[in-house]
Amino acid sequence: MIRIGILGCGRIGQVHARTLRGMDTAQIVAVSDFFPDAAETLAKTCGAETRSTEAILTSDDIDAVVVGTPTDTHFDIIKTAAANGKAIFCEKPVDMSADNIRTLIKDVEAAGVPFFTAFNRRFDPNFAHVQSRIAAGDIGNVELVTILSRDPSPPPISYIESSGGIFRDMMIHDFDMARFLLGEDVVTVYAAGSALVDPAIGEAGDVDTAAVTLTTASGKICQISNSRRATYGYDQRIEVHGEKGMLRAGNVLENTAQLATASGFQAAPTKHFFLERYADAYRIEMEAFIAHLSDPTVAIPTIHDGLAAQRMADAATESWQTGQPVTL
Residues that bind its own copies (CB under 8 A): 125-126, 129-130, 133, 138-139, 141, 143-144, 146, 148, 150, 188, 190, 192-197, 209-211, 213, 215, 219-221, 223, 225, 227, 229-232, 235, 241, 243-269, 323-325
Q: Which is nearer to its own copies, 37 or 60 (CB)?
A: 37
3-state secondary structure of 57: helix
Q: Which is nearer to its own copies, 73 or 213 (CB)?
A: 213
- Pairwise CA distance, residues 66 & 14, whole Å: 11
Q: Report the nearest approach of its own copies to the CB of residue 5 (Å).
A: 23
Q: Which is nearer to its own copies, 13 or 193 (CB)?
A: 193
Burial class of residue 143 in the structure, from the number of CB atoms within 10 Å of its CB (0-12 exposed, 13-18 middle, 19+ buried): middle
Query: CA-based angle 206:250:130, to the nearest 5?
Result: 100
Q: Report the nearest approach of its own copies to the CB of residue 74 (Å).
A: 31
Tell me 197's DSSP state.
S
Nearest by Cα to 42 from 22, 72, 21, 25: 21
- Pairwise CA distance, residues 2 & 83, whole Å: 19
Q: Which is nearer to its own copies, 141 or 162 (CB)?
A: 141
Q: Report the nearest approach of its own copies to the CB of residue 250 (Å).
A: 5
Strands 87-91 and 26-32, by their bridges, are unpaired
Q: Report the nearest approach of its own copies to the CB of residue 233 (Å).
A: 8
Output phi, psi for 216, to 5 deg: -105, 170
Q: Report the nearest approach of its own copies to the CB of residue 149 (Å).
A: 11
Nearest by Cα to 328 from 220, 192, 193, 190: 190
Output phi, psi for 139, to 5 deg: -120, 15
Q: Which is nearer to its own copies, 57 or 214 (CB)?
A: 214
Q: Report the nearest approach of its own copies to the CB of residue 209 (Å).
A: 5
Q: How many CB atoms lie within 10 A of CB 298?
A: 13
Q: Determine the angle formed by the axes of helices 74-83 and 98-111, rounding to 10 degrees.
A: 10
Q: Which is nearer to its own copies, 173 or 271 (CB)?
A: 271
Q: Report the nearest approach of its own copies to the CB of residue 111 (Å).
A: 36
Q: Which is nearer to its own copies, 10 or 325 (CB)?
A: 325
- Pairwise CA distance, residues 123 & 230, whole Å: 23
Q: Report the nearest approach of its own copies to the CB of residue 71 (Å).
A: 28
Q: Report the nearest approach of its own copies to the CB of residue 128 (Å).
A: 8
Residue 85 to residues 60, 61, 90, 287, Cα–Cα distance (Å): 10, 12, 15, 20
Residue 48 to residues 25, 89, 251, 285, Cα–Cα distance (Å): 16, 18, 37, 22
Q: How many CB atoms lie within 10 A of CB 6?
A: 30
Q: Which is nearer to its own copies, 11 or 248 (CB)?
A: 248
Q: Which is nearer to its own copies, 71 or 149 (CB)?
A: 149
